[in-house]
Amino acid sequence: MVFKTETAWSASQVLLSYGFTYHTLAKQTKLVRWIPLVVDFCLNVDGASKGNPGLCGGGGCIRDKHGKVLLAFSNYYGAGNSLIAEARALCDGLRLAHFVGIRLPAIYSDSSTLVQSMQQGKCPSWLIHRWWRSSRDLLDNGSSLVHVFRETNQVVDRLANHAIYTMCNEVFWGFKYLPYACKGPLLIDKTGLLNIRLSYC
């Protein structure tokens, strides 16, 4: 038997008395950080769902090679699940960049399911098909959708949660207009400070 957390002494004795052996998975520490592009702009997107399914929202942030925010968005989606929130956030980010006329060589998402589905060209759920297809249409040949760790996507995670709490859609033009909760992670990204990621071996 394998456990992710240490079991109580009494529970381990019961397992041993029945002849079971067990071990606990060790956690591995990685240091990760947001890495800006060398040229042009990049888009980070994230979706959040409280309850999964529950209330959901999405956020995105377009930054230049110095980490400076050009614009960001925070959109409330109502009831849904995390995959719906991730797909809608990606679609909203790409539409906003297209509307403003910004070329995006790289788009970052912490949803491995969404990124893999885009790369393979297979929609993972009919619930997200309309946003998934719009996103595929908006991704031009020069753009790449890349999976990133959640720890390097904290700015847009805060934007997605901001949408759920405020239950409204907002666009922020520059750093000074961002919600207060986004400013700390943004400064950490901009200065290149490292985040700690814990994962099981």
Q: Is residue 1 part of a domain?
A: no
With a pLDDT cut of 70, the percent of the chain lying above it is 94
Q: Is residue 177 part of a domain?
A: yes
Q: Is residue 47 part of a domain?
A: yes
Residue type, 154: Q
Q: What is the predicted pLDDT for the residue at 2?
A: 66
Q: Is residue 66 part of a domain?
A: yes
Residues 80-85 have a mean pLDDT of: 97
Q: What is the predicted pLDDT for the residue at 1?
A: 61
Q: Residue 3: pLDDT band by 50, 70, 90 thresholds?
A: low
Q: Looking at mean pLDDT, say which of 16-25, 134-143, 184-193 comes out highest.
A: 184-193
CATH number at residue 98: 3.30.420.10
Q: Is residue 89 part of a domain?
A: yes
Number of structural domains found in the chain: 1
Residues 125-133 have a mean pLDDT of: 96
Peptide bond into 36 cis (omega under 30): no
Identify the bridge partners of residue 96 per DSSP, sorted by sequence position: none
How far apart (Å, rounded) are the C-alpha atoms in residues 162 and 61?
A: 13
For 101, counting Cβ atoms within 10 Å of its Cβ (0-12 exposed, 13-18 middle, 19+ buried), the class is: exposed
Tens of pLDDT along 131-186?
999 999 999 777 899 999 999 999 999 999 999 999 999 999 999 999 999 999 99
Q: Is residue 21 part of a domain?
A: no
Q: Is residue 12 part of a domain?
A: no
Q: Is residue 141 part of a domain?
A: yes
Residue type, 130: R
Average pLDDT, the chain: 91
Q: Considering the entire predicted model, what is its pTM?
A: 0.86
Q: What is the predicted pLDDT for the residue at 68?
A: 94
Give the range of the structural domain holding residue 164, as residue numbers without chain letter.
31-196
More confident residue, 40 or 55: 55
Structural contact between residues 117 and 69, judged by C-beta atoms closer than 8 angstroms: no
